[in-house]
Amino acid sequence: MGGWKPWLVLAALLGLSLAWSKPLAFVLDTVPYRVDEAQAIVAQLKQIGVDVQVRVWQPTILREEVLKGTRAAYMTDWGSAYFDPFDLAIPKLETGGRGNFSFYSNPNVDNLFKLASTTIQEATRLTAYRSIQKQIFRDAPWVFGYVLDNLEGISANLEGYEAAADNGINLSRASLRGGDTVTVGMRTNALVSLDVAMHRDRDTEAVLRNIFDALVLRTPEGKVQPLLATSWRNETSTRFLVTLRQGVRFHNGDPFSADDVVYTFERILKEGGVNGQTSPRKGLLGPLERVEKVSDTQVRFIYSAPFPPNLILQSLVQFQIVPRRYIEQGGYANFLARPVGTGAFSFVRGRLDSEIVLERNENYFLGTPRLRRVIFRMMPEPSTRVAALLSGEVQLIQAVPPDLVSRLEGNNQVRVLRGEGTRSYQIELNTKQPPFNDIRVRQALNYAINWDAILREVYRGYAQRLSTAFLPTGFGYDPSLKPYPYDPDRARTLLRQAGFEVR
């Protein structure tokens, strides 16, 4: 018989405490506009014995905290302008990506991302993206979320207008029964600039696209069509030749030519290229090195690395052409005061924080617009926009909140348009720290949340679920991959396996 052995008792106690599992508990960080959703998630997770506390943050502050790596689960959103994973899945899930808040790192996925953004073979890109979706679906670095519909309200008299997925407002083919002036209620507080090179803001772009044209145009469905360019082809994997439309004139009468295209891109590529200031749009050009003039009607885009033609076109959609001679001779201040482009409407007057007045370009190369005037008014309060549409003050409003849709649907003077959104909403999980460094816990959360119920209750059904970080409107989306089903039993099993007590 041995003596009293305290270490044995200690070891037994330790073993006991390990076997004695605790429920999963964590803090869910959210932002003011998603509090309702967070509360619903808390209630749902409570049913399977997961204890969640909600903490509300101001978005920019949450972002800084998340980057320190000390938060566990956070509700985030990320917009895409390319209709391609290039500016959504890649920055969000590539190792060290600018938006990789889950700290997800999978060498396989990284290699496929690299392949997909540097090959010019569309088929290879497609296969790579399909494979990526399967892997991130399984790895579940996020609780995959949803994309909100882009809801716009229009007067029943407005014809020939469609809501676009990229929030573009194309009024060049629109007409108004019983009138020729359309006033648009914009969701923004203020536009950023009247210079197409000096902003990184969708609403500013939506307005400026009526004054300026890009080489190519995106249809409301996201397809790319010729605009100031008529055709294009890859000469090599890094050289892209674009043929320009002939006979187009800027609003001031100057002819449009290859010089204007070269100038437009030069001022963005060069540091300090816009009247001594640097354009914030350079990152949207991909690995573009320079643009050279081949002839008056042809330009060549030269890239420092192979860049897929689909991405080239999606990037060119975002760059409107400015008049070289007008800016160089008339001066930059004059251009800002009286911007001139080739677009369907020309600038009359305006202030960035109140309204911009445009009138039709009689000589528009796609035909004179039917509307005589278009006015963009900045109306940051959604209820005011809805009221202005109902009172007939405006004929088109951006961003109708889902809870105000019913107020418009009851009125036969107005209609609600529904376009697909391009912003992914999700819960990102910190994959480098317990408890979410365990893949089973991450998968369990994906099974445990009933998104369909949340989207129905909180967003009145104006949202689509996402199976991963890929958008249905984007390139490479795999429609056969279904989102995680709501399956609390499976969530319980996974949590139990991971050592948590469940209910």
Partner 1 sequence: MKLVKILERLLSAIPVALGVALLAFFSMRLLPGDPVEIMLGDTQASQAELDALRRELGLDQPLHLQLWDFFTGLLRGDLGTSIVQRQDVVEILATTLPATIELTLATLVVAVLIAVPVGILSAVRQGSWLDRLVLSGALLGVSMPAFWFGLLLILLFAVELRWLPTSGQMDPAIDLHRITGFLLLDSLLAWNWQAFLSALKHLLLPAFTLGIVFSAVLARVIRSSMVEVLRMEYLTAARAKGVPEWQVILKHAFRNALIPAVTVTGLHLGELLGGNMIVETIFSWPGLGRLVVSSIFAKDYVVVQAAVMLYAITYVLANLLVDILYTVLNPKVEL
Could you list the residues that contact partner 1 (CB under 8 A)?
A: 58, 60-61, 63-65, 78-82, 86-87, 90-91, 98-99, 181, 183, 189-190, 192-193, 198, 200-201, 271-272, 277-278, 280, 282-284, 286, 348-349, 351-355, 357, 373, 375, 377-381, 383-384, 387-388, 390-391, 393
- Closer CB to partner 1, 337 or 481, in the complex: 337
**Min separation Cβ 87 and partner 1, Å:** 4
When the beta carbons of 392 and 461 are compared against partner 1, the nearer one is: 392
Burial 376-389, CB ≥16 within 10 A → b, else e: bbbbeebeebbbbb
Closer to partner 1 at the Cβ: 344 or 414? 414
- Contact between 465 and 483 under an 8 Å Cβ cutoff? The reply is yes
Minimum distance of partner 1 from residue 91's CB (angstroms) = 6
Q: How far is the CB of 330 from partner 1 (least distance, A)?
A: 18
Q: E strand or H helix at 167, and its extent? A: none
Minimum CB separation of residue 93 from partner 1 in Å reads 13
- In the complex, what is the shortest distance from the CB of residue 306 to partner 1, in angstroms, rounded to a whole number? 16
Distance CA 158, CA 221 (A): 20
Q: Please, which residue, 48 or 90, has the CB nearer to partner 1?
A: 90
DSSP structure class, residue 206: H
- Pairwise CA distance, residues 31 & 488, whole Å: 26
Torsion of CA 490, 491, 495, 498, to 10 degrees: 60
Asked if 25 and 51 count as a contact pair (C-beta separation under 8 A), the reply is: yes
Considering the complex, state which of residue 332 and residue 486 has its C-beta at the smaller distance from partner 1: 332
Pick the closer one to partner 1 by CB: 359 or 438.
Answer: 359
- How many CB atoms are closer than 10 A to CB 337? 12
Q: Which two structure tokens, joined as six digits, stand for 316?
A: 């060119």
CB of 121 to partner 1, least distance (A): 21
201, exposed or middle or buried, with CB in 10 Å at 0-12, 13-18, 19+?
Answer: middle
Task: Find the shortest distance in angstroms from Cβ 381 to partner 1.
Answer: 5
**Placement of tokens 């005011």 in the chain:** 384
Residues 6+ apart with CB under 8 A from 16: none
Q: How far is the CB of 313 from partner 1 (least distance, A)?
A: 16
Residue 249 or 372 having the CB closest to partner 1? 372
Q: How far, rounded to the nearest angstrom, does the alpha carbon of residue 190 sit from its chain's CA centroid?
A: 19
Question: Other CB atoms closer than 10 Å to residue 233's CB: what's the count?
Answer: 10
Closest to 66 in 3D by CA, of 357, 432, 489: 432
Q: Strand order of the sheet with strand 229-236? A: 229-236, 239-244, 298-303, 288-295
Q: Given the complex with partner 1, which of 111 and 181 has the nearer CB atom?
A: 181
In sequence order, what are the residues at sequence separation of 6 or more whose Cβ sits closer than 8 angstroms to the Cβ of residue 496? Answer: 21, 502
Residue 76 in contact with residue 101, Cβ under 8 Å? yes
Q: State how far the Cα of 400 lies from the Cα of 324, in Å rounded to an integer.
A: 38
Q: Which is nearer to partner 1, 226 or 306 (CB)?
A: 306
Q: How far is the CB of 358 from partner 1 (least distance, A)?
A: 11
* H or E element that contains 429: strand 423-429
Task: Considering the complex, state which of residue 89 and residue 449 has its C-beta at the smaller distance from partner 1.
Answer: 89
- Closest distance between partner 1 and the C-beta of residue 437, in Å? 25
How far apart (Å, rounded) are the C-alpha atoms in residues 355 and 186? 9
Closer to partner 1 by CB, 98 or 482: give it: 98
Cβ 332 to partner 1 shortest distance, Å: 11
